Each structure stands twice: as structure tokens, then as C-alpha cells.
């Protein structure tokens, strides 16, 4: 095996095992930042040693053992420093000795709860959302700082600072490495799911850059969602989010042409939709309903996605049902974006005039004034009504608002098509 092959193997192992490694360490050292540093040291050791010694039979165990040794060395080093300065009382020494022993003995305990604690810690409300995303991708997704920076189109130094500040904040605020209980669990779970879905959405429809999608982000978010769903089997919204992401992810291959141009939902080749992911999503949705969570925010969005997934041809889509689901979603999550989507469903079910009434109300209301999808939808409805001049202006306005190059090209083409049809 060449050195390049070894490095690729290390990267793959890291991506799979880093979260478990950090979670197990964090439980014992009670400091997520320190746990991440120890895990990184184990990773560096792997890069140094494996090209010479070969890939160990159990790479994950090797990383864990190495990290444990680093942790124990740190404990002993700290003890020596404290002894030197006379600041360690006898009982504290005994406690520390015990802690070292416990660290070694307990590191291999059931890791499931540790992962859950890590998810909640990375998404703690003392952190801003961009820091929650960066820390979640770093510690649970196993992404490097450079990978996160490229995914979100920000300088690597910015991401590095966010991660450093986030870890420092967790330590300073003495955030406990635990899963909250009661009402706090509900509030914190909402933040966890938001961060995971934010990551998925950025991969599904990039807000900026040259590519319309970043499938790797979708895969990371999907993996995180599956982990949380496995760890919290009785929480319907967790399964709702998993269902939504599974079904949405099933369309990834059909959403762009070979050259990367966006393909809108109704124009996609549904034969390219991944039926296995759809089945997984529908199974998760069925579980939501059995748990009594069908009216959850993610469950309703998953139900809408399921309507599309069940239609083998675009013409078979039950738009009236989708419009009804959006109306229910608006009741639990009042949002102009939900209303905009309901307008699309209404237009498909009952004609563009009905959709335009809702869209024009949103234009007057003004909240979505800088949201490119509002003029996009309005332009689409105007095309169907034969009002090409007005539609062209809407597409041009939408193109000026989006920061995604691929989407901008698509909108400009649609504007040009309106001009051509007039001539």
C-alpha cells in the first residue's frame, strides 16, 4: 500500500470514527475542546506512524488507545506541575490517581450516550449558530477546517477562529457534557435539528458559489440525522427530520445536468431518484405517525416530500394534498416562505391565478423583498398567464438577488426566453 493509500485510509477512518473518539474522550475529561485536541493528536500520530507500521487491524481502537495515552500523559504531567508548586493536597492526588485509572477503564463504555451528549454540546445555545455549525461539522462530521471553509465559502482562518472561540466559550461557560432533560431537552433538541437541517439545506441548494449543490454536506447532515434518530428513537421530530432528508436526498442525482445546470423538480428524470432512500424516508415517516408526531414541523415537510416521491410521473402529483399540508405547516410554523410554497401548490392544483393572489399578498407584505425565490415564483406564474414582459422583469430581479452562479444563469435564461417568446 502506498503512502497515498494509507493517507486516504486514515482520512476515511477519521471521518467515520472521530465523533465517537471525541465523545468518549469528552465524557472523561469533561472538556469538549480538550477532547478534540486529544483526538487530533491521535490523528497526527496515525499520519506519522501508519505509513511505516501499516494500517492496524482495528484502526478505531488504535486511535482510541493513542488518545487515551495522551490523556493519561496529560493528567500525569499536570500532576507533576501541581506537585512542583505545592498546590496539590494529598486527597486531591488520590482523586487524580483515581481519575487516571477511571479514564483508562471507562473509555470503552457504551458510546451511544456520549455521541448524544456531543451533539447537544456542539449545539449549545451559548454558541452562535455559525459556531454551532462549524463545531458540529468538525466534531461530528469529521470535516477538516479547510473542508468546512470550502463548503461555506469563507476563509479557512474564519472557520478556525469560530471553532477555537466555540471551544473556548464552552470551557469558559462550563457547559456540562450532558443531554438536557425536560423542557430544556425540547428547546435544545430544536436547535440540534435546526443545525443539522441547515447543513443539509446548504448542501441541497447552496446559497452562494459556482455549484448549485454540495452533495457532501447533504451526506454529512444525513449521517448526523441518522445518528440522532438512532440515539433518540422515541422523538418523532427526529424521525421527521430524518424522513425529510432521506426523501430530499433521493433526488440529488436528478437535480443537475451532467454539466451542473440546475434541473427543476417537474423536469427531473424520476428514474434517477434513489428508491432506497425514498423507502427509508417513507419508513421514517411511518414511524413518526406511530409516535403521534404527524403535525411536527419536519414531519409535515417530510409528508410533502413524500407526496412528490410517490408520484412516478410529475403529472401524478397530488398538488391539492400538498397545498393542504402547507396550510397545516403554516399553522405550526407561520412563515412567508411556507406561504410562498403554498402558493406554488395552489397554482398547480387550481390554476396560476390562485397562486398569484397569494404571491401578490406576499409582495405587498414585504418580508421577502430580498428573497430571490419570490420573484422567481411570481415570474413562473406570470409565464403561465401569458404575461411574458412582467415575467421577464421578475426573473431578472431574481437573478440579481441570488448569490449562486448556477441559479443566476438559469434565471437569466428564463428571462431571455420570455423576451424571445414576445418577439
More confident residue, 243 or 203: 243
More confident residue, 347 or 402: 347
Average pLDDT over residues 327-346: 96
Grid-cell match 404571491, residue found: 359
Average pLDDT over residues 376-398: 96
CA dihedral 8, 11, 13, 19 (to 10 degrees): -170
Phi-psi region at 143: left, alpha or beta (left = phi > 0; alpha = psi -120 to 50)? beta
Grid-cell match 468538525, residue found: 138
Helices (H), 291-387: 297-310, 319-332, 336-350, 352-365, 373-384
pTM: 0.78
Average pLDDT over residues 15-24: 87
User: In 283-321, which positions are buried (b, 16+ CB within 10 angstroms) versus exposed (e)?
Assistant: ebbebbeebebbebbbbbbbbbbbbbbeeeeeeebbbee
- The pLDDT of residue 84 is 64
d(CA 151, CA 138): 12
Report which DSSP code applies to 272.
G
Neighbours of 163 (CB within 10 A): 20
Grid-cell match 405550526, residue found: 332
Average pLDDT over residues 323-331: 97
Phi, psi at 404, each rounded to 5°: -95, 120
- The pLDDT of residue 110 is 47
Instruction: Report residue 184's pLDDT band, with 50, 70 and 90 as the boundaries.
Output: confident
d(CA 279, CA 269): 18
- The pLDDT of residue 97 is 56
d(CA 11, CA 6): 9
Grid-cell match 409535515, residue found: 300
Average pLDDT over residues 89-109: 51
- The pLDDT of residue 75 is 80
- Is residue 385 predicted with pLDDT exceeding 70? yes
- The pLDDT of residue 307 is 97
Instruction: Report residue 109's pLDDT band, with 50, 70 and 90 as the boundaries.
Output: very low
Q: In percent, how much of the chain has pLDDT > 70?
A: 91
Q: In percent, how much of the chain has pLDDT > 90?
A: 54
- Give CA angle at 21 (20, 27), nearest 5°: 85
Instruction: Report residue 85's pLDDT band, with 50, 70 and 90 as the boundaries.
Output: low
CA-CA distances (angstroms) from residue 46 to 40, 167, 412? 10, 24, 50
Amino acid at each position: 500500500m502506498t503512502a497515498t493509500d494509507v493517507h486516504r485510509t486514515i482520512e476515511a477512518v477519521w471521518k467515520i470514527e472521530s465523533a465517537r473518539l471525541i465523545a468518549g474522550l469528552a465524557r472523561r475529561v469533561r472538556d469538549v475542546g480538550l477532547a478534540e485536541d486529544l483526538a487530533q493528536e491521535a490523528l497526527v500520530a496515525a499520519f506519522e506512524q501508519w505509513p511505516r507500521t501499516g494500517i492496524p487491524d482495528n484502526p478505531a481502537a488504535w486511535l482510541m488507545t493513542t488518545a487515551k495515552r495522551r490523556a493519561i500523559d496529560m493528567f500525569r504531567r499536570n500532576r507533576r506541575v501541581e506537585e512542583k508548586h505545592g498546590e496539590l493536597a494529598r486527597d486531591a492526588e488520590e482523586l487524580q490517581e483515581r481519575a487516571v485509572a477511571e479514564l483508562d477503564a471507562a473509555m470503552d463504555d457504551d458510546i451511544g450516550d456520549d455521541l448524544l451528549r456531543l451533539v447537544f454540546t456542539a449545539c449549545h445555545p451559548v454558541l452562535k449558530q455559525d459556531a454551532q455549525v462549524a463545531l458540529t461539522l468538525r466534531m461530528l462530521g469529521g470535516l477538516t477546517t479547510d473542508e468546512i471553509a470550502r463548503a461555506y465559502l469563507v476563509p479557512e482562518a474564519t472557520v478556525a477562529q469560530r471553532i477555537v472561540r466555540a471551544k473556548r466559550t464552552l470551557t469558559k461557560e462550563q457547559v456540562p457534557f450532558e443531554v438536557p432533560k425536560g423542557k430544556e431537552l425540547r428547546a435544545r433538541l430544536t436547535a440540534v435539528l435546526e443545525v443539522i437541517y441547515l447543513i443539509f439545506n446548504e448542501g441541497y441548494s447552496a446559497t452562494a458559489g459556482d455549484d448549485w449543490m454540495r452533495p457532501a454536506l447533504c451526506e454529512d447532515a444525513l449521517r448526523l440525522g441518522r445518528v440522532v434518530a438512532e440515539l433518540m428513537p422515541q422523538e418523532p421530530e427526529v424521525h421527521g427530520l430524518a424522513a425529510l432528508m432521506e426523501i430530499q436526498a433521493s433526488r440529488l442525482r436528478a437535480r443537475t445536468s451532467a454539466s451542473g445546470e440546475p434541473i427543476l423538480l417537474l423536469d427531473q428524470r424520476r428514474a434517477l431518484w434513489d428508491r432506497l432512500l425514498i423507502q427509508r424516508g417513507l419508513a421514517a415517516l411511518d414511524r413518526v405517525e406511530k409516535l403521534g408526531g404527524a403535525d411536527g414541523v419536519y414531519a409535515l415537510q417530510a409528508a410533502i416530500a413524500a407526496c412528490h416521491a410517490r408520484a412516478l410521473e410529475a403529472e401524478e402529483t397530488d398538488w391539492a394534498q400538498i397545498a393542504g399540508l402547507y396550510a397545516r405547516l403554516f399553522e405550526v410554523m407561520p412563515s412567508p416562505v411556507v406561504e410562498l410554497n403554498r402558493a406554488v401548490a395552489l397554482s398547480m392544483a387550481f390554476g396560476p391565478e390562485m397562486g398569484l393572489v397569494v404571491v401578490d399578498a406576499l409582495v405587498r407584505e414585504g418580508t421577502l423583498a430580498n428573497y430571490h425565490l419570490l420573484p422567481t415564483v411570481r415570474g413562473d406564474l406570470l409565464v403561465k398567464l401569458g404575461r411574458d414582459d412582467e415575467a421577464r422583469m421578475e426573473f431578472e430581479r431574481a437573478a440579481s438577488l441570488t448569490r449562486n452562479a448556477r441559479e443566476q444563469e438559469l434565471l437569466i435564461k428564463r428571462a431571455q426566453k420570455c423576451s424571445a417568446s414576445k418577439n
